[in-house]
Amino acid sequence: MIDIFEKFAPAWEKEVARFAEKIWRNQVDDDAVRIYNNKAVLFSKRYRYELEKYYRQKGMKVYRGTLDGWVEEWQRRQEVLKENLQVIAKEKQNKLIEDAINDLQRTEKSQEMLNKLYDAKENETVYKVFSFKDNFAALSKQKGSDSAYELGTGINERIIQQYSDRYFWRTQRDKRVRKTHQKLADKCFLFVDPPKVIYLSGREHVGNPGTDYGCRCWAEIASTKAIALQHYVVRETKQDKKAA
């Protein structure tokens, strides 16, 4: 299961980053949008096929109608992601320009550089001053990765729920797993009663594996005889924060 997630997540991460670079460089046209949309459909079909095959090999028949709605919903969410990336990029570029201008004015740097910044903002050529790689690549890749895991965990959960109402929380078991999720690892929960995580910042998240920001955890089917924890709460500690 984890091999499938690891295989597919980087593929969509790259596609989202590729489109984000076009946004950053002001190169989005009808062809770029068409390619992005087609890639989203193709990616979701391939990901779905691999997960269906995985469960068939375990003797679990997958009823395709169970997944159709979620896959279509995920594809619609990629439309929203596309629009959000354009808004985020524009806001980030404006902020970079404004901060740079303010810094130059405070330090009395050359008027030539100020003119260059003003010109970049006016003519939407910010990418010539601030590179995609340094300022937008990491964020766009993270968005793509999160979206890929969202698709995979969504498919995974819908297949499992045809056979059981509960699951074991599994993690990637690497250094990137947040401490709060390490505390959830291998515990059994009901899909309708997922655990709550309370962070030191005050933010709370209630959800199944893969639903929190940047989460790469996943659900593994549990027998209906397995005892599920109910109303379970994990609190982030100062030690957790330091170790992150």
Q: In three state form, how does the secondary structure of the chain look?
A: CHHHHHHHHHHHHHHHHHHHHHHHCCCCCHHHHHHHHHHHHHHHHHHHHHHHHHHHHCCCCCCHHHHHHHHHHHHHHHHHHHHHHHHHHHHHHHHHHHHHHHHHHHHCCCHHHHHHHHHHHHCCCHHHCCCHHHHCHHHHHHHHHHHHHHHHHHHHHHHHCCCCCEEEEECCCCCCCCHHHHCCCCCEEECCECCEEECCCCCEEECCCCCCCCCCCEEEECCCCCCCECCCEEECCHHHHHHC
Q: Determine the pLDDT at residue 123.
A: 67
Mean pLDDT value across residues 96-125:
71
* Chain centre to alpha carbon of residue 21: 17
Amino acid at 211: T
**Least confident residue range of 2-11, 141-150, 191-200:** 2-11
Q: Mean pLDDT, the chain, as a whole number?
A: 90
Q: Determine the pLDDT at residue 166.
A: 96
* Per-residue tokens: 42: 């193709």
Q: Determine the pLDDT at residue 109.
A: 56
* Per-residue tokens: 13: 């991460």
Q: Determine the pLDDT at residue 2.
A: 73
Amino acid at 227: I
Beta strands 166-170; 196-198: pairing state: unpaired
Q: Determine the pLDDT at residue 171.
A: 93
pLDDT, one tens digit per residue, over 53-85 is 999 998 998 887 889 999 999 999 999 999 999
User: Would you place residue 156 in the very low, low, confident or very high pLDDT band (cuts 50, 70, 90)?
Assistant: very high
Cα 76 from Cα 37, distance rounded (Å): 10
Whether residue 44 is predicted with pLDDT greater than 80 in this model: the reply is yes
Contacts of 181 (CB under 8 A, 6+ apart): 169, 171, 197, 212, 215, 217
pLDDT, one tens digit per residue, over 10-31 is 999 999 999 999 999 999 999 9
CA dihedral over 142, 145, 151, 155, signed as positive or negative: negative
pTM above 0.75, yes or no: yes
Cα 71 from Cα 136, distance rounded (Å): 27
Q: Determine the pLDDT at residue 244.
A: 63
Token pair 């130059």 is at which residue?
104
pLDDT, one tens digit per residue, over 157-176 is 999 999 999 999 999 888 88
